[in-house]
Amino acid sequence: MIKIYAPASIGNVGVGFDILGAAITPINGDLLGDCITIKRSEKFQLFNKGAFSNQLPENHKQNIAWKCWSKFCNVVKKNIPVSILLEKNLPIGSGLGSSACSVVATLVAINEIFNSPLNSKELLLLMGEVEGEISGSIHYDNVAPSYFGGLQLILEDTHIISQTIPNFKNWLWIVAWPGIKLSTAEARKILPKKYTKDVCVKNSRYLAGFIHASYTQQSDLAARSMKDFIAEPYRSKLLPNFFENKKQVKKLGAISCGISGSGPTIFAISDNIKIAKKISLWLEQNYLQNKTGFVYICYIDTKGVRKIG
């Protein structure tokens, strides 16, 4: 029996639409991500548990774990029945890479139980394919950080899909999920099909500035470069009072604030734990819409997917 954990992630990281992704882990030691427990079985079995298991489809063939197993069997041309327990700790449609967590943990677990027929690149390609079927387009900014950990730059080069870039170890990432669902596919549909040259140039400038600042460890420049001209102007209307919340957390001392993935989770960054706690408390009191919502203060998770238990 194998138990695999895959961490939550922040897609886009503000400035890098479909290009940047960061794996995160709460500083209090909680597991913010999904777990898969797998073993060989006489027939395929799938069980669900966890805080958000009630959001999963009743038909197991619509479940991400089954889709991963089915696709994996097709790729390796073997049909090995397994028993899977999916522990769903992330809400679906949260903007924290919920589907990516399930995809990464499941495929890594299946690959191991099948004696690792796929290498890391082949696994990542398969992860992107499954994730694309769920969200409407193939993108790696959640699966890559959840798989490899750290801050990932998505290259989609012929030989290299994603590479880890330096992050700022003193940064604290405050993530707030308001307790409501937002479909990734719907959040992608709201974006325009074309952008002006000025917007493209401006976004490229800030993205390049962020990458440069990350490698040269210029924290202030990196924070100032985290501006989103691609998604935030359009997706902000889908989030509860986004610009007011962003204004307030910056007043409290956040060095950056943006939408996590397609939302409705938002993230704020601080390099001071006292300020991070103030931001966390303010978001708890003002951004959460119901009792299921949550706020976590996180570090970058540098481990990625891993065995636990």
For the annotated binding site for ATP, the residues are 91-101
User: In Å, what is the CA distance from 77 to each residue of 39, 57, 85, 113?
Assistant: 19, 27, 23, 15
172 close to 276: Cβ distance less than 8 angstroms: yes
* Residues placed in the known binding site: 91-101
Distances in Å between the alpha carbon of 92 and those of 100, 167, 204, 255, 292?
10, 27, 31, 28, 12
Q: Report which DSSP code applies to 33.
A: E
Q: How many CB atoms lie within 10 A of CB 18?
A: 18
211-215: long-range pairs with CB below 8 Å, 24+: 211/153, 211/165, 214/151, 214/165, 214/166, 214/167, 214/168, 215/165, 215/166
Nearest to 180 by CA among 267, 277, 289: 289
Q: Could you give the angle at which helices 98-113 and 64-76 cross, rounded to 10 degrees?
A: 40
Contact (CB, 8 A) for 119 and 103? no
Partnered with residue 61 across adjacent β-strands are none
Helix (H, G, I), strand (E, B), or coil: what is residue 247? helix
Rounded to whole angstroms, the Cα distance separating 83 from 65 reads 10
